[in-house]
Amino acid sequence: MAENTKPNITIIQIILFLFVFILFVIIGISIEDKNLKISYFLVVSLILFTLFNCYLTIAYYKDLRNVGGQPGERGLKGESGFTGDSGVCTFSEKCGINDCESKVLNESKQYSADKIDLIGEPCYTNSTIENCKTQEHINIANDVKNLNRIRIEKCNNSKLNWEDLKEKLFPPL
């Protein structure tokens, strides 16, 4: 916060205020009627009070308009807004994740380790009848490979970072 937020009244401003006050007093002394003189001084005092109040209001506003207040407690979380249009990547020539294929394949080997153990590593890498024991093993290997192709395509088109995308592509079992 600001060190000194109170407006400083300068000597010139005090002299100006006293000059106006003395001017009104001189005018008031020249009034002969006692009732009119009392009314005049009441009106003048109200006018001077109002002008002084306006001056202080403006001075405090100028000093405090850019000063922040104390932060309050966090409010209740509101509803999510509408999803906007997908943005355009402007910071680099290639947006998204670099080297998607190797990242997806490495993560898939860990994620599908039980299936790869069942069919065997040679069947997984080259799913032919010579490398696989049964047609069912070939089908499992092809299913994992097709799923990996879809994951690689999603990875290449994603604007998420790898950690966030990995949670979507490989949900916990």
pLDDT digits (tens, 9 = 90+) for 73-89: 988 888 888 876 665 55
Cα 91 from Cα 151, distance rounded (Å): 24
pTM: 0.44
- Give the model confidence (pLDDT) of 1-19 as tens digits: 445 555 567 888 888 888 8
The phi, psi pair for 141, rounded to 5°, reads -60, -45
Per-residue pLDDT at 1: 45
Tell me which long-range contacts 105-110 makes (C-beta under 8 A, separation of at least 24). Answer: 105/148, 105/152, 107/166, 107/169, 107/170, 108/144, 108/147, 108/148, 108/151, 108/170
Q: d(Cα 123, Cα 152) in Å, to the nearest integer? A: 21
Residue 25 confidence (pLDDT): 86
Strands (E), 17-142: none
pLDDT digits (tens, 9 = 90+) for 105-155: 888 888 888 887 888 888 877 777 787 888 888 888 888 888 888 888 888
For 39, residues 6+ apart whose C-beta sits below 8 A from its C-beta are: none
Residue 36: the pLDDT is 92
Amino acid letter for position 40: Y
Q: What is the pLDDT of residues 151-168, one digit of tens each?
A: 888 888 877 777 888 888
Q: Tokens 């006050």 label which residue?
A: 21
